[in-house]
Amino acid sequence: MRQAVFLDRDGTINHLVPRPDGSWASPRSLDEFKLIQGVARQVARLKSAGFLAIIATNQPDVARGVLPAQVLEAMHLELRKLAPVDGIMVCPHDDIDDCPCRKPRPGMLLQAAKRWELDLAGSFMVGDSWKDMEAARAAGVKDILINAAYNQEVTCSLRADSLESACNYILAQGR
């Protein structure tokens, strides 16, 4: 069975976007979708070590009607051009939909495990929210939180200052 590194998208792979009310949110246009510097290199490092790189992202703005599905698809086409990801798992639902794939539930990770025949116990989830960490634990995946000002209260197994430091940890564990 293969090992994977699941990567949250917003705040882990791409920058969050400031909104007029002072909050930070997911991009809602292709112009707002900007990868964090060095992400493509880190994904390539993981792949070179034999890991599959799989994005697992909640995208409730689709259900809320503020992100057209075609724009989301354009973002993911751009992501695939810039970084060598193996797959992109998306939950386009909102909390009210009670979807089993919406993080913090493990549905996306479990679907990916079935699709790619993954060893979940030997896999990792890197994200920036409590939902990412809960989904990882529920699926039996090792959880790594990218440290940010907004997630200091989140419980996790490991905190990393960047995707690069998370990848350094993962690669040091060996396969």
Would you give the end-to-end CA distance of the chain in angstroms?
Answer: 12
8 is catalytic: yes
Encoding tokens for residue 33? 């979708």
List 10, 86, 132, 143, catalytic entry: 10
Encoding tokens for residue 105? 């539930």
55: left (phi over 0), alpha (psi -120 to 50) or beta: beta
H or E segment at 55? Answer: strand 52-58
List 8, 61, 86, 143, catalytic entry: 8
Residues with a known catalytic role: 8, 10
